[in-house]
Structure 1
Amino acid sequence: MKILHIPCLEDNYAYLILDERSGEAAVVDPVEPEKVLQVAKEVGADVKLVLTTHHHWDHAGGNDKIRQMVPGIKVFGGSIDNVRGCTNKLENGDRLSLGGGVEILALHTPCHTKGHISYFVSSKDEEPPAVFTGDTLFIAGCGKFFEGTADQMYQSLCITLGSLPKPTRVYCGHEYTVKNLQFAATVEPENVKIKEKLSWASNQRRAKLPTIPSTIGEEHDINPFMRADLPEIQAKVGCSSPAETMKEIRRLKDTWRG
């Protein structure tokens, strides 16, 4: 399984997931279809599936166009998310396969949108799995609570995604890592792992390189939202429950000007 980053718009990422044995591929959130299909052509990929994380235009806005460009392509999205161009609606726990060697599991991760889907992808090889988290989980951050509650984000981040194997690679929808880590350092100024990750991420961006992926294990160490169930984090923001802490950290992030 090969995963290729495709920068789109100002700070979005689309991704191409290639089953190297068959040459079949899926694309995640191909908001700029021409760019995505050019990358697919360069690596000899036969694009079969679109995996849409949620309905926002900067993720689903290319679906109609890619259906025109690739007749017969299947476009997947959450069953309650009203995804543009969707041909196949997904429920939590639905499974897809790509080329016989790659398995895809749909995980309902609501809050940013009601029907947001994250895609857990594994191959028959021994490489670590990957999860495509759209705007639910960012590196060291999470999406705004546009259509849900702090309880839902806690469930999506800390339970659903947080319980995935720690080596799982995290591919999110935006390049927000440096700002997220700068904020995380205000919540936990003594967290050495946050400082180290911020230094690394800053160097990556200066070199115009992506900061993605991280891993689920790393997110447990550096992401304040995924650490909302820790008593020491709750104490820092004056809260006594994970969901309350999640809500307060989101409020602090929304008003932070770094």
Structure 2
Amino acid sequence: MEFIRMEFWTGRLRYLLYVKTRVGPWYTKKQWEKAAIQHPSGHSNELNFEYPGITVFALPVGFDNYCYAIVNELNADHITAERQCILIDVGDATKMLEFLRKNKLILSAVLSTHKHWDHTLGNSTLKSSFPGLKFMEVGELHLSINGDVIKAGGLSLSVCSTPGHTRKHFIFLLKLPDEQRQLIFTGDFLFNAGSGRLYECSPDVQLASIAKFVGLVKPTDLIFPGHEYALENYKFSHWLWKRSIRSELLPSCPNDRTYLVAEYGRKVDKCQLARSALIPLVPFSVAEQLQYNLFLNTADESIQALAGVVKSDGEVQRQAQTFFNLFKLKDEFWPEKNKNWF
């Protein structure tokens, strides 16, 4: 099953131009220039989150991207106070170089979750600026990688392959010293109340990655995604449940739809309040996603009915079709998103 914008030859051509030619870097740079005009101080406030021995900085890039800096607070230089850090998904090198300088940080490694230019455009500049620096780029990894550990800057991150959004996509898991929680950097695999679009894989591939992910994490683990999509995603979920009431899509839905409409409405209000103040809606817990993320619950009959999937198909097919239909419905709800190149 091919997916969304890739199902027409024009979508395929645009995507190939983006990933295979110089059009991709050019397009991404133009997007950054437009974003700088629209959001001179960034699409969100720059925030840092403190954990035992570790600080994570969420750094806004472009219209909605995040680059993350993981700082090891335990190995600061006693004389210069410089600390080591790892950067994840460097879409804009200029911003990252300024961030490193301002915070007296020593760059130990650069990691990329996948190949798209909005996550990797800054890598070449950083390679030139830091000869010999450790880079982990997607092209160098094998699809089968799972559980391998990257060690840099006194930190250890586990790597998990999560194909779906792209054929090669990886998430990084950092276990906190108290061993009660993990910090998970998901790139475009998983968002707050949403999932990454599938440009190179079918829904069943993404669903297999989701099943693997659910088996690796705990409800208390925290997720840092590649984009700020929370408000958009909760608006979509809220709209979908309201639509089901109006159209009587779910005549025998086991859940209380009125409650769900109100619950997602409260989520929308909370997100709108935060975003009006440019507060990043990251991180968020795995527990919250298991409860509210439709794309993590495609096995739920009420979600299948919500997406217009009939019960007669096999279970695997129903889940894949539910995933597919949810994105079709999202395009109906948010048609302007389809005007982007990818």
TM-score, normalised to structure 2, is 0.68
Identity of aligned residues (%): 28
| 1:125 corresponds to | 178
Q: Would you say the 8 A contact 1:193–1:221 is kept in 2?
A: no
Q: What are the within-5 Å matches in structure 2 for residues 163-182 of structure 1?
A: 163=215, 164-182=217-235
Q: Please, which moves more after superposition, 219-228 or 37-46? A: 37-46
1:205 to 248, 265, 275: 275
TM-score, normalised to structure 1, is 0.89
Q: Is 1:34 matched with 2:94?
A: yes
Q: Which has the higher strand share?
A: 1
Q: Would you say the 8 A contact 1:181–1:194 is kept in 2?
A: yes
| 1:160 corresponds to | 212
| 1:96 corresponds to | 150
For residues 186 and 219 of structure 2, the distance between their equivalents in structure 1, rounded to whole angstroms, comes to 15
For residues 165 and 204 of structure 1, the distance between their equivalents in structure 2, rounded to whole angstroms, comes to 26
| 1:51 corresponds to | 111
Q: Is 1:234 matched with 2:286?
A: no
| 1:249 corresponds to | 326
Q: Structure 1: which 5+ runs fail to align? A: 83-87
| 2:132 corresponds to | 72
Q: Would you say the 8 A contact 1:237–1:245 is kept in 2?
A: yes
| Structure with greater Cα Rg | 2
Q: What are the within-5 Å matches in structure 2 for residues 107-146 of structure 1?
A: 107-126=160-179, 128-146=181-199
Q: Structure 2: which 5+ runs fail to align? A: 1-53, 76-82, 243-256, 312-317, 336-342
Provide the secondary structure at the position in 1 that maps to 2:96: helix
Q: Please, which moves more after superposition, 64-73 or 34-43? A: 34-43
1:214 to 274, 284, 287: 284
For residues 128 and 101 of structure 2, the distance between their equivalents in structure 1, rounded to whole angstroms, comes to 16
For residues 170 and 61 of structure 2, the distance between their equivalents in structure 1, rounded to whole angstroms, comes to 20
For residues 125 and 72 of structure 1, the distance between their equivalents in structure 2, rounded to whole angstroms, comes to 32
**Count of residues paired in the alignment:** 248
One-letter amino acid matched to 2:122: G
Q: Would you say the 8 A contact 2:108–2:153 is kept in 1?
A: no
CA RMSD, 1 decimal: 1.8
Q: CA deviation at 1:17?
A: 0.6
Provide the secondary structure at the position in 2 that maps to 1:200: helix
Q: Which has the higher helix share?
A: 2
Q: Would you say the 8 A contact 1:21–1:99 is kept in 2?
A: no
Q: CA deviation at 1:5?
A: 0.7
| 2:237 corresponds to | 184
Q: CA deviation at 1:145?
A: 1.0
